[in-house]
Structure 1
Amino acid sequence: MSDYRVNKTEGEWREELSPEEFHVLREAGTERPFTGEYTDTTTEGVYACRACGAELFRSDQKFSSHCGWPSFFDARDTEAVELIEDRSLGMVRTEVRCRNCGSHLGHLFEGEGYPTPTDQRYCINSVSLTLEPAGGE
Protein backbone atom coordinates (compact mmCIF):
# COMPACT_ATOMS: atom_id res chain seq x y z
CA MET A 1 0.00 0.00 0.00
CA SER A 2 1.01 3.62 -0.42
CA ASP A 3 1.33 6.74 1.67
CA TYR A 4 -1.93 8.20 0.31
CA ARG A 5 -4.90 8.83 2.62
CA VAL A 6 -7.08 6.64 0.37
CA ASN A 7 -5.51 3.21 -0.17
CA LYS A 8 -7.24 0.53 -2.20
CA THR A 9 -6.10 -2.58 -3.99
CA GLU A 10 -6.10 -2.75 -7.77
CA GLY A 11 -9.14 -5.04 -7.53
CA GLU A 12 -11.05 -2.55 -5.38
CA TRP A 13 -10.28 0.27 -7.85
CA ARG A 14 -11.41 -1.93 -10.77
CA GLU A 15 -14.72 -2.63 -9.01
CA GLU A 16 -15.39 1.07 -8.38
CA LEU A 17 -14.22 2.61 -11.65
CA SER A 18 -15.31 2.10 -15.24
CA PRO A 19 -12.66 0.62 -17.55
CA GLU A 20 -11.88 4.09 -19.01
CA GLU A 21 -11.71 5.68 -15.54
CA PHE A 22 -9.39 2.90 -14.34
CA HIS A 23 -7.14 3.28 -17.38
CA VAL A 24 -6.74 7.04 -16.90
CA LEU A 25 -6.81 7.33 -13.11
CA ARG A 26 -4.86 4.22 -12.12
CA GLU A 27 -2.74 3.46 -15.23
CA ALA A 28 -1.92 7.09 -16.17
CA GLY A 29 -3.76 6.88 -19.46
CA THR A 30 -5.18 9.80 -21.43
CA GLU A 31 -8.64 10.27 -22.87
CA ARG A 32 -8.93 11.35 -26.49
CA PRO A 33 -8.85 15.13 -26.98
CA PHE A 34 -12.15 17.02 -27.36
CA THR A 35 -14.17 14.05 -26.06
CA GLY A 36 -14.39 14.77 -22.32
CA GLU A 37 -17.54 16.08 -20.69
CA TYR A 38 -15.78 19.07 -19.06
CA THR A 39 -13.65 20.28 -21.98
CA ASP A 40 -15.89 23.28 -22.71
CA THR A 41 -17.93 23.43 -19.50
CA THR A 42 -18.41 26.88 -17.98
CA THR A 43 -20.59 25.78 -15.04
CA GLU A 44 -19.54 27.37 -11.73
CA GLY A 45 -18.52 24.89 -9.10
CA VAL A 46 -15.81 22.64 -7.70
CA TYR A 47 -13.99 19.91 -9.61
CA ALA A 48 -13.15 16.87 -7.50
CA CYS A 49 -11.18 13.67 -8.05
CA ARG A 50 -13.49 11.08 -9.59
CA ALA A 51 -11.71 8.30 -7.68
CA CYS A 52 -11.84 9.70 -4.13
CA GLY A 53 -13.86 12.94 -4.15
CA ALA A 54 -11.05 15.24 -2.99
CA GLU A 55 -11.53 18.86 -4.13
CA LEU A 56 -8.92 19.71 -6.76
CA PHE A 57 -9.89 22.75 -8.86
CA ARG A 58 -12.51 25.50 -8.89
CA SER A 59 -14.36 26.78 -11.94
CA ASP A 60 -12.81 30.26 -11.50
CA GLN A 61 -9.42 28.62 -12.15
CA LYS A 62 -10.59 27.03 -15.42
CA PHE A 63 -9.86 28.65 -18.76
CA SER A 64 -10.35 27.89 -22.43
CA SER A 65 -7.02 26.71 -23.82
CA HIS A 66 -8.48 25.01 -26.93
CA CYS A 67 -6.15 22.04 -26.31
CA GLY A 68 -8.85 19.36 -26.12
CA TRP A 69 -8.90 18.83 -22.36
CA PRO A 70 -10.13 20.93 -19.43
CA SER A 71 -7.45 23.44 -18.45
CA PHE A 72 -6.90 25.17 -15.13
CA PHE A 73 -4.29 27.79 -14.25
CA ASP A 74 -3.98 26.69 -10.62
CA ALA A 75 -5.05 23.93 -8.25
CA ARG A 76 -7.56 24.55 -5.46
CA ASP A 77 -4.62 24.79 -3.09
CA THR A 78 -1.08 23.56 -3.19
CA GLU A 79 -1.95 20.50 -1.11
CA ALA A 80 -4.66 19.21 -3.48
CA VAL A 81 -2.31 17.79 -6.11
CA GLU A 82 1.18 16.39 -6.30
CA LEU A 83 3.54 17.01 -9.19
CA ILE A 84 5.83 14.23 -10.42
CA GLU A 85 8.44 14.23 -13.17
CA ASP A 86 7.21 12.09 -16.07
CA ARG A 87 9.79 10.84 -18.59
CA SER A 88 7.41 8.59 -20.52
CA LEU A 89 6.90 8.86 -24.28
CA GLY A 90 10.43 10.15 -24.83
CA MET A 91 9.85 13.56 -23.26
CA VAL A 92 10.01 15.28 -19.88
CA ARG A 93 6.67 16.46 -18.52
CA THR A 94 5.13 17.09 -15.13
CA GLU A 95 2.44 14.60 -14.15
CA VAL A 96 -0.41 15.82 -11.93
CA ARG A 97 -1.81 13.36 -9.38
CA CYS A 98 -4.43 13.61 -6.67
CA ARG A 99 -2.55 13.97 -3.39
CA ASN A 100 -5.35 12.16 -1.56
CA CYS A 101 -5.40 8.89 -3.54
CA GLY A 102 -2.55 9.07 -6.05
CA SER A 103 -4.78 8.95 -9.11
CA HIS A 104 -3.43 10.32 -12.38
CA LEU A 105 -5.20 13.52 -13.43
CA GLY A 106 -3.17 14.86 -16.33
CA HIS A 107 -0.08 17.04 -16.84
CA LEU A 108 1.13 20.53 -15.98
CA PHE A 109 2.66 22.76 -18.63
CA GLU A 110 4.32 26.12 -18.00
CA GLY A 111 5.43 29.09 -20.05
CA GLU A 112 3.02 28.61 -22.94
CA GLY A 113 1.94 32.26 -22.91
CA TYR A 114 -1.69 31.87 -21.89
CA PRO A 115 -3.03 35.11 -20.36
CA THR A 116 -3.55 33.60 -16.90
CA PRO A 117 -2.21 34.70 -13.49
CA THR A 118 0.23 31.77 -13.26
CA ASP A 119 1.28 31.09 -16.89
CA GLN A 120 0.55 27.45 -16.08
CA ARG A 121 -1.85 25.00 -17.70
CA TYR A 122 -3.04 22.04 -15.70
CA CYS A 123 -4.21 19.87 -18.62
CA ILE A 124 -6.62 17.47 -16.91
CA ASN A 125 -8.62 14.50 -18.21
CA SER A 126 -12.38 15.03 -17.83
CA VAL A 127 -12.74 11.39 -16.81
CA SER A 128 -10.51 12.14 -13.80
CA LEU A 129 -12.98 14.71 -12.48
CA THR A 130 -16.49 15.21 -11.22
CA LEU A 131 -18.09 18.66 -11.10
CA GLU A 132 -20.18 19.76 -8.14
CA PRO A 133 -22.08 22.81 -9.42
CA ALA A 134 -22.21 25.85 -7.15
CA GLY A 135 -25.43 25.90 -5.16
CA GLY A 136 -25.93 22.13 -5.67
CA GLU A 137 -27.62 22.64 -9.04
Structure 2
Amino acid sequence: MNRQKMSRRQILTAGVAGFAVVALIPLSRYMGSPAIAAEGDFEVQMSEAEWRARLTAEQFSVLREEATERAFTSPLNDEHRAGIFHCAGCDLPAYASDAKFDSGTGWPSFWQSLPDAIGTKEDNSLFATRTEVHCRRCGGHFGHIFDDGPPPTGKRHCLNGVSLKFVAA
Protein backbone atom coordinates (compact mmCIF):
# COMPACT_ATOMS: atom_id res chain seq x y z
CA MET A 1 0.00 0.00 0.00
CA ASN A 2 2.72 2.48 0.95
CA ARG A 3 4.68 1.56 -2.15
CA GLN A 4 1.64 2.35 -4.32
CA LYS A 5 1.21 5.79 -2.72
CA MET A 6 4.87 6.59 -3.26
CA SER A 7 4.57 5.56 -6.89
CA ARG A 8 1.56 7.82 -7.42
CA ARG A 9 3.34 10.72 -5.71
CA GLN A 10 6.39 10.24 -7.94
CA ILE A 11 4.24 10.09 -11.03
CA LEU A 12 2.34 13.22 -10.02
CA THR A 13 5.59 15.10 -9.26
CA ALA A 14 7.15 14.03 -12.56
CA GLY A 15 3.97 15.00 -14.41
CA VAL A 16 3.91 18.49 -12.90
CA ALA A 17 7.63 19.01 -13.63
CA GLY A 18 7.18 17.73 -17.16
CA PHE A 19 4.24 20.05 -17.73
CA ALA A 20 6.29 23.03 -16.55
CA VAL A 21 9.10 22.22 -18.97
CA VAL A 22 6.80 21.55 -21.90
CA ALA A 23 4.42 24.46 -21.30
CA LEU A 24 6.49 27.28 -19.87
CA ILE A 25 9.76 27.15 -21.81
CA PRO A 26 8.20 27.30 -25.29
CA LEU A 27 5.88 30.05 -24.02
CA SER A 28 8.94 32.24 -23.41
CA ARG A 29 9.62 32.32 -27.17
CA TYR A 30 6.38 34.16 -27.78
CA MET A 31 6.29 36.63 -24.91
CA GLY A 32 7.43 39.47 -27.18
CA SER A 33 5.35 41.29 -29.75
CA PRO A 34 3.71 38.84 -32.12
CA ALA A 35 4.35 40.54 -35.46
CA ILE A 36 7.53 42.57 -35.61
CA ALA A 37 10.61 42.90 -33.45
CA ALA A 38 10.71 46.69 -33.26
CA GLU A 39 8.14 49.17 -34.38
CA GLY A 40 9.08 52.31 -36.25
CA ASP A 41 10.26 53.69 -39.53
CA PHE A 42 13.31 51.69 -40.54
CA GLU A 43 15.44 52.17 -43.65
CA VAL A 44 14.83 48.55 -44.66
CA GLN A 45 11.17 47.56 -44.62
CA MET A 46 9.63 44.48 -46.18
CA SER A 47 6.33 42.69 -46.08
CA GLU A 48 6.04 39.52 -44.02
CA ALA A 49 6.14 37.50 -47.25
CA GLU A 50 9.35 39.24 -48.36
CA TRP A 51 11.01 38.62 -44.96
CA ARG A 52 9.94 34.97 -45.05
CA ALA A 53 11.41 34.57 -48.55
CA ARG A 54 14.70 36.17 -47.46
CA LEU A 55 15.18 34.41 -44.10
CA THR A 56 15.17 30.85 -42.84
CA ALA A 57 12.21 29.89 -40.65
CA GLU A 58 14.38 30.19 -37.51
CA GLN A 59 15.81 33.55 -38.59
CA PHE A 60 12.29 34.86 -39.24
CA SER A 61 11.12 33.64 -35.85
CA VAL A 62 14.01 35.38 -34.05
CA LEU A 63 14.45 38.54 -36.15
CA ARG A 64 10.81 39.32 -36.87
CA GLU A 65 8.90 37.63 -33.99
CA GLU A 66 11.41 38.07 -31.13
CA ALA A 67 11.90 34.36 -30.47
CA THR A 68 15.06 33.08 -28.80
CA GLU A 69 17.25 30.34 -30.21
CA ARG A 70 18.27 27.53 -27.86
CA ALA A 71 21.50 28.14 -25.96
CA PHE A 72 24.68 26.52 -27.32
CA THR A 73 23.15 25.87 -30.77
CA SER A 74 24.74 28.68 -32.78
CA PRO A 75 28.04 28.08 -34.58
CA LEU A 76 28.73 31.80 -34.06
CA ASN A 77 29.08 31.17 -30.33
CA ASP A 78 32.44 29.55 -31.12
CA GLU A 79 33.48 31.98 -33.89
CA HIS A 80 36.85 33.49 -32.91
CA ARG A 81 38.25 34.82 -36.21
CA ALA A 82 38.75 38.50 -36.88
CA GLY A 83 35.81 40.04 -38.68
CA ILE A 84 32.43 41.70 -38.39
CA PHE A 85 29.06 40.27 -37.39
CA HIS A 86 26.31 41.63 -39.66
CA CYS A 87 22.53 41.66 -39.27
CA ALA A 88 21.23 38.52 -40.98
CA GLY A 89 18.16 40.47 -42.11
CA CYS A 90 19.65 43.50 -43.85
CA ASP A 91 23.44 42.94 -43.77
CA LEU A 92 24.19 46.01 -41.58
CA PRO A 93 27.60 45.63 -39.86
CA ALA A 94 26.66 45.45 -36.16
CA TYR A 95 29.42 43.95 -33.96
CA ALA A 96 33.21 43.66 -34.30
CA SER A 97 34.88 40.40 -33.35
CA ASP A 98 37.27 42.25 -31.00
CA ALA A 99 34.27 43.14 -28.76
CA LYS A 100 33.16 39.49 -28.54
CA PHE A 101 33.75 37.50 -25.36
CA ASP A 102 32.80 34.11 -23.93
CA SER A 103 30.04 34.79 -21.43
CA GLY A 104 29.40 31.10 -20.76
CA THR A 105 25.69 31.64 -21.48
CA GLY A 106 25.56 29.73 -24.76
CA TRP A 107 24.85 32.77 -26.90
CA PRO A 108 27.31 35.03 -28.76
CA SER A 109 28.10 37.93 -26.42
CA PHE A 110 29.68 41.33 -27.02
CA TRP A 111 30.59 44.21 -24.71
CA GLN A 112 29.64 46.83 -27.31
CA SER A 113 28.19 47.26 -30.78
CA LEU A 114 29.58 49.18 -33.71
CA PRO A 115 28.61 52.89 -33.75
CA ASP A 116 25.09 53.58 -35.02
CA ALA A 117 24.34 49.88 -35.53
CA ILE A 118 21.71 49.08 -32.93
CA GLY A 119 18.57 50.38 -31.32
CA THR A 120 17.10 49.41 -27.98
CA LYS A 121 13.70 49.24 -26.36
CA GLU A 122 12.30 48.22 -23.01
CA ASP A 123 11.14 44.61 -22.88
CA ASN A 124 8.73 43.74 -20.07
CA SER A 125 8.15 40.12 -21.03
CA LEU A 126 9.08 37.15 -18.85
CA PHE A 127 8.05 39.01 -15.69
CA ALA A 128 11.08 41.33 -15.68
CA THR A 129 12.24 44.52 -17.35
CA ARG A 130 15.11 43.99 -19.78
CA THR A 131 16.73 46.00 -22.55
CA GLU A 132 16.05 44.50 -25.94
CA VAL A 133 18.54 45.16 -28.73
CA HIS A 134 17.63 45.30 -32.41
CA CYS A 135 19.14 46.30 -35.76
CA ARG A 136 18.73 50.04 -36.18
CA ARG A 137 18.29 49.67 -39.97
CA CYS A 138 15.63 46.91 -40.24
CA GLY A 139 14.39 46.52 -36.65
CA GLY A 140 15.38 42.85 -36.52
CA HIS A 141 15.55 41.41 -32.99
CA PHE A 142 19.11 40.52 -31.93
CA GLY A 143 18.71 39.74 -28.21
CA HIS A 144 19.11 41.63 -24.94
CA ILE A 145 21.65 43.82 -23.12
CA PHE A 146 22.54 43.08 -19.51
CA ASP A 147 24.69 44.92 -16.96
CA ASP A 148 26.97 41.97 -16.17
CA GLY A 149 29.57 42.25 -18.94
CA PRO A 150 33.30 42.87 -18.84
CA PRO A 151 35.15 46.20 -18.88
CA PRO A 152 35.28 48.69 -20.37
CA THR A 153 31.46 48.93 -20.73
CA GLY A 154 30.22 46.43 -18.14
CA LYS A 155 27.54 45.46 -20.69
CA ARG A 156 26.75 42.05 -22.15
CA HIS A 157 24.96 42.12 -25.49
CA CYS A 158 23.56 38.57 -25.39
CA LEU A 159 22.59 37.83 -28.99
CA ASN A 160 20.91 35.13 -30.99
CA GLY A 161 23.52 33.80 -33.38
CA VAL A 162 20.85 33.13 -36.00
CA SER A 163 20.17 36.89 -36.14
CA LEU A 164 23.76 37.50 -37.28
CA LYS A 165 26.06 36.46 -40.07
CA PHE A 166 29.83 36.55 -39.77
CA VAL A 167 32.04 38.18 -42.38
CA ALA A 168 35.73 37.34 -41.90
CA ALA A 169 38.27 40.17 -42.16
**Superposed pair shares fold, TM > 0.5:** yes
Secondary structure of the corresponding residue to residue 82 of structure 1: strand
Determine whether 1:80 maps to 2:117: yes
Distance in 1 between the 2:77 and 2:129 partners?
A: 24
Structure 1's unaligned 5+ residue stretches are: none
Query: Which structure has the larger Rg over C-alpha atoms?
Result: 2
The 5 A counterparts of 1:1-137 are 2-77=40-115, 79-110=116-147, 112=148, 114-134=149-169
Q: Which one-letter code corresponds to 1:102 in the other structure? A: G
- Per the TM alignment, residue 14 of structure 1 is displaced from its structure 2 partner at its CA by 0.8
Structure 2's unaligned 5+ residue stretches are: 1-38
Q: Which one-letter code corresponds to 1:97 in the other structure? A: H
Give CA deviations for 1:80-110 in whole Å, capped at 9, x if unaligned.
1001000011111000000000000000001
Work out whether residues 118 and 135 of structure 2, in 8 Å CA contact, stay in contact via their aligned partners in 1: yes
Q: CA-atom RMSD, angstroms?
A: 1.1
Secondary structure of the corresponding residue to residue 48 of structure 1: strand
Distance in 1 between the 2:98 and 2:144 partners?
A: 19
Distance in 2 between the 1:76 and 1:61 partners?
A: 9
Which is helix-richer, 1 or 2?
A: 2
- Per the TM alignment, residue 116 of structure 1 is displaced from its structure 2 partner at its CA by 2.3
Secondary structure of the corresponding residue to residue 21 of structure 1: helix
- Per the TM alignment, residue 2 of structure 1 is displaced from its structure 2 partner at its CA by 4.3
TM-score norm. by structure 1 comes to: 0.92
Distance in 1 between the 2:118 and 2:57 partners?
A: 23
Distance in 2 between the 1:116 and 1:43 partners?
A: 21
Q: Tell me: CA distance 1:21–1:91, structure 2 relative to 1, closer, same or farther (3 Å).
A: same
Q: Which one-letter code corresponds to 1:93 in the other structure? A: R
Which is strand-richer, 1 or 2?
A: 1
